[in-house]
Amino acid sequence: MRSVLLAGGGTAGHVSPLLALADCLRRRDPDIAITALGTAAGLEARLVPERGYPMIEVPKVPLPRRPSGDLLRLPGNLRRAVRAAEDAIASTSAQVVVGFGGYVSTPAYLAARRHGIPIVVHEQNARPGIANRLGARFASAVGVTFPDTALPRATVTGMPLRREIATLDRGALREQARAHFGLSDAPTVLVTGGSLGAQRLNEAFAAAAARLSAAGVQVLHVAGTGKDFVPEGVTGAPYVVLPYCDRMDLAYAAADLVVARSGANTVCELTAVGLPAIYVPLPIGNGEQRLNAASVIAAGGGLLVEDSAVTAAWVDDVVRPLALDGQRLGGMASASASVGERGGDELLADLVVAAAGGATTAAGRAR
């Protein structure tokens, strides 16, 4: 395989596995040409070039779920995006197109199908999105993160993860990680709502900060860009607040318990490294965050709590005693690791290589 085109963007949930697969393919073959399709407004516009891969821009094509102006503009927008994807396939001589969902995947799938280029789909969430439901209908291979994802001919690959997460040894890095964040050796809770933060988590933990500290529970709180705060009344164990964390590998190594949203990437990272967690599904969307956490909850590696139940009193009554219960956390950590997959990038790369093996024949049929 000489050239691959990766399509996915808009959110970290799409871009992170795209980059993990790109890195894996590059490790296997340093000479392979890897190009990404993306939009100017998505995270990929910054993250893909920063990782050293070229990105070709395609127009953003929102797929409206209800009647709107976007619905009327959809045919024209889609035609322009498909033409841009076709130009990208031609200019890169792509032998396979790999889509991760999001705005750019639909035109990439349609362009690849038109030109007889094999397609590989990877679905991150337990409940697939519109783009990947379309692409899976004519894909050569479909990789899914969760075994219950309803896509045809799916192979469970798990989530392609960043190398620093997939290879993380939490125990070996714990002392370094806690020193990095200015933490002590006390029981440690990591609170994170992702790069955008989670306002309810922020408010509940800020209100309980003094009591957590007095009980000997230290907190590493990633509050979100522009949402950091100064915890009040902290006189015991440290309470460290960051607006953003670019070393999540060290954050995971420092933690004994995590409180987080249950986005697919978060669930897969936490289970891969064997961290017990309390998952708080996003209260909007199509319910995929609840489904994403189902397998680890069933295994005993995590707890699930509704967003509306997250209050300072809940932190006092549930989070604080759990953080101080080392025996229970140890059992939850083992259960979490039992459903984790560290080799999702390699498993997905196997599907991509196999699909590309038939590229010449498929393209020949299209001509």
Contact 43, 61 (CB under 8 A): no
| pLDDT in the model for residue 196 | 59
In this predicted structure, the answer to whether residue 168 has a pLDDT above a threshold of 70 is yes
| pLDDT in the model for residue 287 | 81
Who wins on pLDDT, 365 or 255?
255
In this predicted structure, the answer to whether residue 362 has a pLDDT above a threshold of 80 is no
Q: Please report which confidence band the pLDDT of residue 42 belongs to, taking 50, 70 and 90 as the band edges.
A: confident
Helix, strand, coil percentages for the chain (3-state, nearest 5): 45, 15, 40
Q: Please report which confidence band the pLDDT of residue 208 belongs to, taking 50, 70 and 90 as the band edges.
A: very high
Question: In angstroms, rounded to a whole number, what is the distance separating the alpha carbons of residues 152 and 278?
Answer: 32
Q: Please report which confidence band the pLDDT of residue 71 belongs to, taking 50, 70 and 90 as the band edges.
A: low
pLDDT per residue as tens digits for the range 330-349: 999 999 999 999 999 999 99
What is the average pLDDT across 267-273? Answer: 97
Contact 88, 56 (CB under 8 A): yes
| pLDDT in the model for residue 176 | 97
Question: In angstroms, rounded to a whole number, what is the distance separating the alpha carbons of residues 201 and 223?
Answer: 8
Contact 343, 309 (CB under 8 A): no
Who wins on pLDDT, 41 or 209?
209
Annotated binding site for UDP-N-acetyl-alpha-D-glucosamine: 11-13, 125, 162, 195, 289
What is the average pLDDT across 243-253? Answer: 94
3-state secondary structure of 165: helix
Mean pLDDT of the chain: 91
Q: Please report which confidence band the pLDDT of residue 286 belongs to, taking 50, 70 and 90 as the band edges.
A: confident
Query: In the 8-state DSSP scheme, what is residue 280?
Result: -
In this predicted structure, the answer to whether residue 72 has a pLDDT above a threshold of 70 is no
In this predicted structure, the answer to whether residue 62 has a pLDDT above a threshold of 70 is no
Q: Please report which confidence band the pLDDT of residue 350 belongs to, taking 50, 70 and 90 as the band edges.
A: very high
pLDDT per residue as tens digits for the range 182-204: 999 999 999 998 655 588 999 99
Query: DSSP string spanning 47-113?
Result: HHHHTT--EEE-------SSSSHHHHHHHHHHHHHHHHHHHHHHHHT-SEEEE-SSTTHHHHHHHHH
In this predicted structure, the answer to whether residue 303 has a pLDDT above a threshold of 70 is yes
Residue bearing tokens 């954050």: 251
Relative orientation angle of helices 264-272 and 326-338, to the nearest 10 degrees:
110
Question: In angstroms, rounded to a whole number, what is the distance separating the alpha carbons of residues 345 and 21?
Answer: 5
> 25-29, 71-75, 271-275, 341-345: which range is least confident on average?
71-75
In this predicted structure, the answer to whether residue 65 has a pLDDT above a threshold of 70 is no
Annotated binding site: 11-13, 125, 162, 195, 289
In this predicted structure, the answer to whether residue 366 has a pLDDT above a threshold of 60 is no
Question: In angstroms, rounded to a whole number, what is the distance separating the alpha carbons of residues 143 and 16?
Answer: 15
pLDDT per residue as tens digits for the range 98-139: 999 988 999 999 999 999 999 999 999 999 988 999 999 999
Q: Please report which confidence band the pLDDT of residue 295 belongs to, taking 50, 70 and 90 as the band edges.
A: very high
Contact 42, 8 (CB under 8 A): no
